[in-house]
Structure 1
Amino acid sequence: MRWMVVMGLFGVTACGSYPADAEGTLNAIKHAHVIRVGLIEGTQRSPNFSKVQSYLKQVSEDVGAKVEVRQGSAEALFAEIEQGSLDVAVGEIASDSPWLPDVAVVEPIAKRSVGHCSLGLSAIARNGENAWIMVLERHARDMKVKS
């Protein structure tokens, strides 16, 4: 019995803190006090742009970092996320986007339809950055509750 308890404690301590970021995004943000945000082109013209601003403000206050924003096409920004040169992109993404397997798309803070296409206004982060993704998801849920 003692052996099982010791092994269980060893297993818990060996895992470190959970959730963790594979590449350390959240720690890097907290250390630099900067969130590198890519704003997908056209997002400023979205009827839900004020939600984007509120969302980014909440996230930045939570992690104690200022937001540095640059605009670009979705494809270019997603590639930068994959490479680790951006922390998050924000904008409308189609529910059938070919990028979905390559990035972590946080639940939308708003949705709208354009023709037959369903668009979710979401934060998009690097796969595997689980602690950072949890921060983004928590604030997305908060935005939905306040809506």
Structure 2
Amino acid sequence: MTIRIAGLLLLILGACDALPRDPEHSSERIQQSRTLRIGITDPKLVPEAQRLVAALAQQNSARPIMRQGALEPLIVDLDAGRLDLIIAPMAKRSPWKTLVAPGPALTHIGEGKERVEWRALMKNGENRWIMQVERASRRVSGEQP
């Protein structure tokens, strides 16, 4: 009985390195292609967003490729796998937040109802990639992980 339990535990532990998963393999694609495809809505990124791009590029040994556009088409491209990440200012009550996985606020502009937060937006479900971006976002914003 003890041998069976030990064998089962070894099988469970062996599977843990594959978690969290990216069902559409975002992390693997970035590492293999050595490119990080980023959509931006504003060509002038705040310093925290610039540091996030630099940190993610370094962590993945990847070259960032930036593409500017309106948020809605960028979200369509993110969902279709043509972008890995979007960095954009978003209103606190933006309806787009439900379509993506928003990272922690990098910084904010304004207060109250006028508050706009700069965030990294990732494709829902790409959990390994989301975790990496969230950790890096917290580091560059000064928030403790």
TM-score computed with the length of structure 1 as normaliser: 0.86
Amino-acid identity (%): 26
Runs of 5+ consecutive residues of structure 2 not aligned to the other structure: none
Checking the alignment, whether the CA contact within 8 Å between 1:43 and 1:92 is kept in structure 2 is no
* Offset of residue 16 of structure 1: 5.0
Q: Does 1:134 align with 2:131?
A: yes
Q: Counterpart in 1 of 2:36?
A: 35
Equivalent pairs, count: 142
Give the Cα separation in 1 of the matches to 2:97 and 2:91. 9
Give the Cα separation in 2 of the matches to 1:29 and 1:140. 18
1:25 aligned partner, one-letter code? S
* Offset of residue 68 of structure 1: 0.4
Checking the alignment, whether the CA contact within 8 Å between 2:43 and 2:68 is kept in structure 1 is no
The verdict on how the C-alpha distance between 1:142 and 1:15 changes in structure 2, with shifts beyond 3 A counting, is closer
Q: Counterpart in 2 of 1:2?
A: 3
Q: Which deviates more, 112-121 or 92-101?
A: 112-121
Q: Does 1:58 align with 2:62?
A: no
The verdict on how the C-alpha distance between 1:76 and 1:5 changes in structure 2, with shifts beyond 3 A counting, is same
Q: Counterpart in 1 of 2:14?
A: 13
2:124 aligned partner, one-letter code? N
TM-score computed with the length of structure 2 as normaliser: 0.87
1:101 aligned partner, one-letter code? T
* Offset of residue 43 of structure 1: 5.3
Deviations 1:99-140, CA, capped at 9 Å, x for gaps: 222211000110122672332101101111111112211111
Checking the alignment, whether the CA contact within 8 Å between 1:108 and 1:140 is kept in structure 2 is yes
Q: Does 1:102 align with 2:99?
A: yes
Checking the alignment, whether the CA contact within 8 Å between 1:43 and 1:91 is kept in structure 2 is no
Deviations 1:59-114, CA, capped at 9 Å, x for gaps: 10111000000101111111111111100000111221212222110001101226
Equivalent position SS for 2:96: coil
1:58 aligned partner, one-letter code? A
Checking the alignment, whether the CA contact within 8 Å between 1:43 and 1:49 is kept in structure 2 is no
Q: Counterpart in 2 of 1:75?
A: 72
Q: Which has the higher strand share?
A: 1
How big is the alpha-carbon RMSD for the aligned residues of Structure 1 and Structure 2?
2.0
